[in-house]
Amino acid sequence: MASLLSWFSSFSPSPQASDSEPSIEHQRSLLYKQIVQEGNQHYISAHLAELVTNSGNAWPPKATHAESWPPALRPYNVVYQRIAPFLPVRESSLDDAENRRLINKTRALMVALLEEEVSIPDVCETLEDCSRNESELMPMSGWLGFYSCVASLRHAYRWGILPVVREAQNEKTLQFPRELNVPWPYIQSRVGITSPGGSLSSNSYYNLDDRREIVYSITSGMGEDHNRTELWNGLLFVEVEDKALPMYRHIAQAALHLENEDFPSTISTLRTANEELKVAFKHFYDNMNDYNLVPSLWLPYCQGFQGWTLDGINGVSGGQNILIRTLDSFLGIRPWPTEKEESLHLPLAQRNWLNSLRKFDIRALAQEKGNEEVIKQLEHMVTQLRLWRMGHMRRMQRYQVHRPERNKMTAGKSVVKDDSVQVSNDDAMVDHLKEMLSVRLRETK
């Protein structure tokens, strides 16, 4: 812990921008343009440019919602907003029969609303047209927003009630309404994912509007603490990506410089990337606190909804965030996910970016070139990642609270082996969390 505190204390915030300096939005716009313009310099830079252009011409992604969709698709937004207030309850029942009744009631209401609002022939025709004429009928940002909406509806149907209860967890398979199945292959094809459910991208990156407020809420009608916890559950990932984008550009440039054996530029660029990484990690820890993310509310009202556990498919995991996967890929930290596993939840442009970093393998190349200062800067980045994993493991333990209405489950790894709900502590859940994070920690060396 002392090393973690020492690392944070070494961070000096930048002075506040003066009135004469460009606005944050203007700076972002300039950065996006720089990244796209540099796309022809190197294949890593090309895939970073692809990441931006396929994410609504922004990073973190910029999704647009119902107003940007063709009329036939807008009823999906209507249905979600009408069903949202029926999802959360203040007190969970421990009676399985009562929970089954509530789940069935919510699903029946969803079916009725979908049948009332959605015209399947019009949806099919529209999605065919959009697939043939992507930019004209619906921009990529619109596809991302539509993905978020339909994924939210599918998760809402899958669970039926929030907090998640074991009566739904015990389901091994589930037949979804036709209105939710018809658009899904179009979304999978356009975005480049294979999962039948949502992802960190659909449920967090794409689920915010221009004001960075949630579009498809799962705590509608609940208290301020619930709403704030839900917001920060996604916003934290988004804002960290915002801080990390300059680093992505610099690691792409560092690869080009090292390939050209321009060691002074490589060292300078990596040094800058390390400082930018420190900014991103500090923002994460500053905002992952008990006010933004209330420990007693996070698991029942946020994490549970992100799960899936149908047909052997897992749900949304914080491990799907691009910053940590970028660092693992850039620094050659294995094991990497298989292509099949990663394609479940990560859009194609995100996977292409990660795979370009893995292909380059900068640490191996640095060792081959033999420049000690380049190696030192890369090892400094490894150290930062190791410290983050240590701190994250400690922080997350307090969020694994006991919930008697559900089996122990992580959204990204399904039901934990010990699924007893008769115990009053969370040892099994905490041990499971430690196991997942420790595997990555051991590999960060």
Known binding-site residues equal 392
User: Cβ distance 128 to 182 under 8 Å?
Assistant: no
DSSP annotation of 20: T
User: Cβ distance 11 to 323 under 8 Å?
Assistant: no
Alpha helices in 54-139 (DSSP H): 75-83, 96-117, 120-132, 134-137
The beta strand positions in 116-237, using DSSP E, are none
Binding-site positions for heme b read 392
Say how far apart CA 144 and CA 56 lie, in whole Å. 8
Say how far apart CA 241 and CA 284 lie, in whole Å. 10
Nearest to 303 by CA among 426, 387, 400: 400
CA distances, 422 to each of 164, 172, 426 (Å)? 17, 22, 11
Q: Which helix (H) or strand (E) covers residue 409, if one does?
A: strand 409-410
Say how far apart CA 248 and CA 362 lie, in whole Å. 14
* Coil, strand or helix at 273: helix
Say how far apart CA 245 and CA 264 lie, in whole Å. 22
User: Which pair of structure tokens corresponds to residue 34?
Assistant: 């720089």
Query: Which residues contact residue 55 at a Cβ distance below 8 angstroms, ignoring those fewer than 6 apart?
Result: 61, 62, 140, 144, 205, 349
